[in-house]
């Protein structure tokens, strides 16, 4: 109290410093709040980046699954075509054998008829 009565100028300076310090403290608190918000935003951005990377990986996985499905379909078609080719080869082979058998049969019919006449046994 003595100082207040005897040194009003000093008191005024002290009050201004206190006020200035209070203002600085308020600014600091606001800056800290902003920093906290920025840090939270940064964390969210990192999470968003991770999500985007995961999304890219999922897209790649979808493409791979599509390619796999396409490959399997092509493989099945290829297998079916291969089997069809083998069947056609077998059919051709059997047709050739059948023609040969028919020719043999035509040649042997007279022999069979003669055998029948002689033995009375049917072949």
Considering the domain boundaries, does residue 108 fall inside one?
no
What would the mean pLDDT of 6-23 be, rounded to a whole number?
Answer: 83
Query: Taking the complete model, does pTM exceed 0.85, yes or no?
Result: no
**Does 74 reside within a domain?**
yes
Asked if residue 70 is part of any domain, the answer here is yes
- Residues contacting residue 71 through CB under 8 Å, at least 6 positions apart: none
Instruction: Report how far residue 44's alpha carbon sits from residue 46's, in angstroms, rounded to the nearest whole number.
Output: 5
- Show the CA angle centred on residue 94, arms to residues 92 and 100, nearest 5°: 105
DSSP states of 31-72 as a string?
HHHHHHHHHHHHHHHHHHHHHHHHHHHHHHHHHHHHHHHHHH
Q: How many domains does the chain have?
A: 1
Rounded distance, CA 89 to CA 101, Å?
Answer: 18
**pLDDT, tens digit, 9 for 90 and up, residues 26-71:** 999 999 999 999 999 999 999 999 999 999 999 999 999 999 999 9
Q: Which domain holds residue 28?
A: 2-86
Give a yes or no: residue 122 inside a domain.
no
Domain-located, residue 107:
no
């Amino acid at each position: 109290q003595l100082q207040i009565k005897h040194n009003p100028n000093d008191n005024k300076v002290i009050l201004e410093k206190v006020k200035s310090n209070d203002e600085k403290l308020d600014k600091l608190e606001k800056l800290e709040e902003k920093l906290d918000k920025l840090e939270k935003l940064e964390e969210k951005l990192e999470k968003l980046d991770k999500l985007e990377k995961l999304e890219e990986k999922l897209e790649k996985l979808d493409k791979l699954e599509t390619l796999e499905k396409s490959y399997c379909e092509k493989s099945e078609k290829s297998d079916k075509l291969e089997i069809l080719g083998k069947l056609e080869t077998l059919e051709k082979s059997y047709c050739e054998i059948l023609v040969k058998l028919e020719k043999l049969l035509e040649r042997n019919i007279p022999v069979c008829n003669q055998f029948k006449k002689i033995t009375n046994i049917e072949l």
